[in-house]
Amino acid sequence: MKQRILTYFSKGHKRSILAKKNIIFSLFLKFFSMVIIFIMVSKSIGYLGKEAYGLWVLLSSVLVWTELFDFGLTNGLRNKLSELLASKNDTAKININMISATYASMFFIALIIYMMVGLVVYFVDWKTLFSVNLFSNEEIQSILMVIFFALSFNLFLKPIDAILKALQWPSVMMVFSLVGSILSLLALYILFAIDLENRLFAYTVVISFLPVIVLFLGSIYLFKNKLKRFKPNFKNIDFKLAKNVSTLGYSFFVIQFAGLVISQTDNVIIAYLFGTESVTEYSVVYRYFSLFLIGTSIVLTPFWSAFTEAYIKKEFDWIRKSIRKLLFTFSGMAVLVALFVWFSDDVYKIWINDNMNLPLSLSIAMGVYVVVYSFSNIFVFFVNGTGYIKIQMYIGITMAILNIPLSYLFAYIMDYGITGVIMATTICAAIPGIFSYVQYNRIISGNAKGIWIK
């Protein structure tokens, strides 16, 4: 058995071996992170209550929008570094200047965004918008400012993620995530012990900042050791290189924006139509199935830069074999999703220990979404790796525009409730996958022309 495992990790293309090691190590780390997160959900609801936790889920969802606020710069940096590393033109000067310019750009972007948010937050009636009774508008504003400060700090640190992914070391970020999760859980137990009056504000400060502090310290450690040759040097910043990165990054920005509108507006729509307690119900089901979404991300992340390298080197056979293996892997995952749906009601009762009475239709809808999202992303990640993302950008914009009216149609007019919101999101996730599948076949067969290779 031991010999078979060793053979598995030493057999095949060097790129495949590296991907296997990253996937297994990331899964190992993420397993422990998810155990902690599952405990966190239960403990957080117990600490804050259903309405306050629903509000936290709604407000904290803006942290995911850090993927958008970098304006595609980190994904552009990732692809450019991957291309340089694949073509053996990765001179220290080019890498350092490109990275330094990206960090400097991210600093100014983060600063401007925080200043703008600071003005906007105080002009919105959040209490009415989110249908909240438990908290005043001033309390919600204070919480949002804390969240956005943490968001801005995290935004500045994002290029380290792009560097690690370009080097095909994405599992390193999982280490930071695990440490952040452990510290957050310990901090939650401390909050229980001291029993502060303003629980939600204290919870927000602790949960928002601990992961960012871990990332900050981890970045310093890496640049002093394994990533020494990529360490940014702010003395000679060339913003022309940042512009070079942003040319490709602009398209990624639009795609990120569209993706976030599709996936992250669900909480807002649910809160507006059904109240924040319904957000908590949605959040519980989403967390349960997020195991598969995270697993999909872990499996596919190493392949983005690997596809870039293979495409630059014209190693199409490796790409075909990798796609077939990914399809087989995700077919097995689809069976597991079905089992998760079957046992969902029992798991909710044990996990949450609360009489939420979550309908089976909600779990079925989320299960279908997970499967569609995962299979679509196999081809989306390939397209991202090649950099030919014009079609994906146009389709993404279209789906982002349709998502909210579709959600309203299914959830409110057709009276499917929360399930209807998930149905709309599933449709909007499927269409880009279909186009990416067609584009993949055209590129691999050498028949891609016009917009298919732009």
Tokens of 390: 């014009």
pLDDT at 69: 63
pLDDT (average), residues 411-427: 89
What is the three-state SS of 189-246? HHHHHHCCCCHHHHHHHHHHHHHHHHHHHHHHHHHHCCCHHHCCCCCCCCHHHHHHHH
How many Cβ atoms from other residues are within 10 Å of residue 289's Cβ?
A: 20
Confidence check: pLDDT of 274 > 50 = yes
pLDDT at 1: 47
Confidence check: pLDDT of 247 > 70 = no
Tokens of 416: 């499917």
Confidence check: pLDDT of 6 > 50 = no
Query: What is the number of residues in the chain?
Result: 454
* 28-63 per-position pLDDT tens digit: 776 787 788 778 888 888 888 877 887 787 777 665
Give every CB contact of residue 328 below 8 A, 6+ residues apart in sequence: none
pLDDT (average), residues 78-89: 69
Give the Cα separation of 171 and 188 in Å (integer): 26
Check if the beta carbon of residue 384 is closer than 8 Å to that of residue 435: no
Tokens of 204: 């927000």
Q: Which range (70-84, 103-117, 269-283, 296-310) has the least confidence?
A: 70-84
Using CA atoms, how far residue 163 sits from 14, 157, 173, 219, 401, in Å, is: 19, 11, 11, 11, 32
Check if the beta carbon of residue 394 is closer than 8 Å to that of residue 431: no
Give the Cα separation of 397 and 100 in Å (integer): 31
Confidence check: pLDDT of 407 > 60 = yes
Confidence check: pLDDT of 214 > 90 = yes
Tokens of 217: 């310290």
Categorize the per-residue pLDDT at 335 as very low, low, confident or very high, splitting at 50, 70 and 90: very high
Could you give the dihedral angle defined by the CA atoms of residues 335, 336, 339 and 344, in that order, rounded to the nearest 10 degrees? -140
Check if the beta carbon of residue 385 is closer than 8 Å to that of residue 323: no
* 133-185 per-position pLDDT tens digit: 777 888 888 888 888 888 888 888 888 888 887 777 777 887 888 898 889 88
Tokens of 424: 């709309």
Could you give the dihedral angle defined by the CA atoms of residues 240, 241, 246 and 247, in that order, rounded to the nearest 10 degrees? 80
pLDDT (average), residues 243-249: 56
